[in-house]
Amino acid sequence: MKPIIPFEPVRQEIIPTGDQWIYQIKWDGVRILAYADGNGIALYNRKLHERTEHYPELHDISSYSRTNCFILDGEIIALAEDGKPSFHEVMRRDGLRRMERVDQVKKHVPVYYMVFDILYHNGSWVHQRPLHERLKLLGDMLLPNPVVQQVTPQTDGHALFELMKQQRMEGIVCKRLDSGYEIAGKNANWVKVKNYGDIIAAIGGFTLSGNIVNAVLLGLYDKEGRFWYIGHTGTGRLSKPEWRELTEKLKPHVIRESPFANKPERHHNVYWVLPTLCAKIMYTEWRLQEGRSLRQPSIQAFVEKPARECVFPMDM
């Protein structure tokens, strides 16, 4: 099967309401589509990069499906010590590049596949059928096990969002029950309402404490290719060994002049670097009146992405 680009929700601040809407948790993980053709399973992310070997927990199709021919859409998640989904933890699996380490790492980082849609079933495409039909079909064919679960839809979006705020989780996705699944599409039939923001930014500088990085300066590119400072952070989910590893990655890229088009608020004792390393950043809000900077940014995990693709969102 040829992998496809999944349907994406649009972002809104207002939760849509009405009988035609259902609401699901927005899981903070890695979007993965599972393709089974009767001869085995293949896993691909939203960028069409294969992840089959990263998640051997999904290789035994008969353990979670009544059929061996399907395309499922869902999110691979991993849990932090507090029992909540953690992008940092799941990237310890998804970021692996030496596949011989998978068996070792999976003992320390178990993952779960939260399935929320089905696009293909027993030789037929079903993505254009209304969501309520696809959810019933998914429920009929899926055999939930400790690793694979169907995402439960809720009927009260405001109550679910309040729970996400209380639990400090990412937010919710609102979906019309009469909607089809638009491959490689994005429209308001699916709406995401987020409790906090996140973005992938490039690192343009750092500061040291005891020869170890203790904070990084973050930036995004504009459409003219200029690199703008948007904030700095020394907080997040990184462990001390990961800060040391970050130090070794950044030092070879030190340059003499600032790569930023604007002057960072933090610029004393800074080592400037050529933007090459990218990180997923969580933040509470954009401060548009203060140079489009982030409020309370924190590093969630490092991601493989060309720095030049770290650009301002269209709605900024």
Note the pLDDT tens digit of each residue in 54-91: 999 999 999 999 999 999 999 999 998 888 898 889 99
Collapsed DSSP state (helix, strand, coil) of residue 21:
strand
Positions of the chain with pLDDT lower than 70, given as ranges: 235-236, 287-292, 314-316
From CA 146, how far away is CA 208, in angstroms rounded?
A: 43
Active-site residue (options: 2, 26, 240, 280): 26
By CB atoms closer than 10 A (0-12, 13-18, 19+), residue 42 is middle
The Cβ-side half-sphere exposure at 216, using a 13 Å CA radius, reads: 32
Question: Which has the closest alpha carbon to 122: 107, 106, 137, 100?
Answer: 137
pLDDT in tens, 170-188: 899 999 999 999 999 999 9
Q: What is the reported pLDDT for 46?
A: 93
User: Can you give the pTM of this predicted structure?
Assistant: 0.79
Q: What is the reported pLDDT for 67?
A: 95
| Structure token digits, residue 315 | 């709605």
C-beta atoms surrounding 246 within 10 Å: 20
From CA 134, how far away is CA 116, in angstroms rounded?
A: 9
Q: What is the reported pLDDT for 250?
A: 94
| Structure token digits, residue 158 | 């405001």
pLDDT in tens, 259-288: 999 988 777 789 999 999 999 998 877 765
The Cβ-side half-sphere exposure at 128, using a 13 Å CA radius, reads: 2
Q: Which residue has the tokens 């499922």?
A: 72
Bridge partners, 272 (sequence order): 205
Contact (CB, 8 A) for 169 and 195: yes
Alpha helices (H) in the chain, listed in sequence order: 87-94, 102-108, 131-141, 157-166, 240-250
Go through the domains of the chain in sequence order and give each one's CATH number.
8-184 (3.30.470.30), 197-309 (2.40.50.140)
Give the strand pairing for 186-194 and 8-11: parallel
Collapsed DSSP state (helix, strand, coil) of residue 250:
helix
Question: Which has the closest alpha carbon to 87: 47, 29, 45, 46?
Answer: 29
Whether 26 is catalytic is yes
Question: Which has the closest alpha carbon to 109: 292, 198, 237, 291?
Answer: 237
Question: Which has the closest alpha carbon to 89: 13, 28, 163?
Answer: 28
Q: Which residue has the tokens 């400072």?
A: 229
C-beta atoms surrounding 76 within 10 Å: 26
From CA 242, how far away is CA 203, in angstroms rounded?
A: 15
